[in-house]
Amino acid sequence: MELKERIRSRRAKIGVIGLGYVGLPLAVEFAIEGFDVTGFDVDAWKVGEINAGRSYIGDVKTKDVASTVANGHLRATTDMSQLHDMDVVDICVPTPLRKTRDPDLSYVVQAVDATKAYLRPGQLVILESTTYPGTTDEVVQPALQEGGLKVGVDFFLAFSPERVDPGNKSYHTRTIPKVVGGTDEISTELASDLYGSIINTVVPVSSTQVAEMVKLLENTFRAVNIGLVNEIALMSHRMNIDVWEVIDAASTKPFGFMPFYPGPGLGGHCIPIDPYYLSWKARQTGFECRFIELAGHINASMPTFVVERIGEALNTVRKSINGSRVHLFGVAYKKDVSDMRESPALDILELLHRRGAVLSYSDPHVPKLRHADLNLCSVPESQAADGIDCAVICTNHSVFDYPSIAKRFPLVVDTRNALKGVNGDNVFRL
């Protein structure tokens, strides 16, 4: 087959739609491996940055973008008509939730419509965007076949869930095993060959629905276990037990236990969202995911609990939240990244704002923050102490001097156990 040979000889032209946290690392890896790669995005700024040889994603090195652009293996465009020239189209667009917590496939539909308009025989189309089981077969395939081309005969279609973990130093695109499920054996084989050229381990599965379910299971597993440990944290607080000490001790068991840690809430694009995709799809079959939805309810309540802890801390010095100056350390959703998607810090800030707190924050990864009625700029850590009534460690970035924070501020609410081993009447843990 011509496409198989083009993939194996690195002559296949690859188009990646969506140049965010998933698409850009993937495009760069293909380009490094010698493929001719075109990135497609509706954001002209991203396109301009890539064509100028600059990376705007922390996990992608600017030198890799610059070198692959310079040698002609990587380029970017907003012109979707160029999809016609691609041998492979890899869709890596966001899949958020609507306000009703139903799946929002509008970005996927837009990308599929663009692909459909320029689809030609012999192309391989892969969806990487996290979605509910059945999306590839029920949404993508019918749309692509509207022009008369048949999947498995004229073109090929697969789903391969992204497994990006921003900020992870141990695992990246090349070292994270890639699950692949096609609509037919040929599609699975072609997609496996493609990813096998840049990824160490490829895991073929029997269908697109299995591949779609894999990603939802992975992130629902984390969401449910985080929900459990968050509930244990709430319970331990009522019992005056240090939940962090409990987890550390339980972690010494060499079997049957995996440590998860409580926090101010769930953030990122996947873990707070994916369980809702799964429960939504389950409801279409008449199945109610009570366990999963309960975990979501507990996790969503954590920002409110953090604000309550801030109120308890201020109460010890006879102050209220209203009028108090509260400073957050870290507003990104996780340690050492700039990603603000679904960050619990946003909910905490909004709740504090509603209660009349005077707010500020320090986060070297997030220089500016706009949310609801708030428009804030990051304050250098060294300049954050004057007049602050309560500091809140919301994201445990490595750059913060935590012993100094505990000494400099009259009250500190630690939601990440960043002050482990630091004791004092001014320290309040989750």
- DSSP, residue by residue, 143-159: HHGGGS--BTTTBEEEE
pTM: 0.91
CA gap 338, 336 in Å, rounded: 7
Q: Which domains does the chain have, with CATH numbers?
A: 2-206 (3.40.50.720), 222-429 (3.40.50.720)
Question: Could you report the per-residue pLDDT of 226-238, keeping only the tens digit for each?
Answer: 999 999 999 999 9
Mean pLDDT for 273-282 is 89
* Centroid of chain to Cα 72: 30
| 8 Å CB contact between 212 and 235 | no
Question: Could you report the per-residue pLDDT of 398-429, keeping only the tens digit for each?
Answer: 999 999 999 999 999 999 999 998 888 999 99
For residue 372, is pLDDT > 90? no
| 8 Å CB contact between 17 and 41 | yes
For residue 246, is pLDDT > 80? yes
Mean pLDDT for 363-385 is 92
CA gap 259, 9 in Å, rounded: 44
Q: Which of 270, 289, 390, 394 is catalytic?
A: 270
Quick one: CA torsion of 223, 229, 232, 234, rounded to 10 degrees? -70
Q: How are beta strands 390-393 and 374-377 bridged, if at all? A: unpaired
| Averaged pLDDT score across all residues of the chain | 95
Question: Could you report the per-residue pLDDT of 117-170, keeping only the tens digit for each?
Answer: 999 999 999 999 999 999 999 999 999 999 999 999 999 999 999 998 888 888
Q: How confident is the model at residue 171 (pLDDT cuts 50, 70, 90)?
A: confident
The two structure tokens encoding residue 241: 């037990």
| 8 Å CB contact between 134 and 108 | no
Q: How confident is the model at residue 102 (pLDDT cuts 50, 70, 90)?
A: confident
CA gap 409, 418 in Å, rounded: 15
Q: How confident is the model at residue 340 (pLDDT cuts 50, 70, 90)?
A: very high
Active-site annotation holds for 270: yes
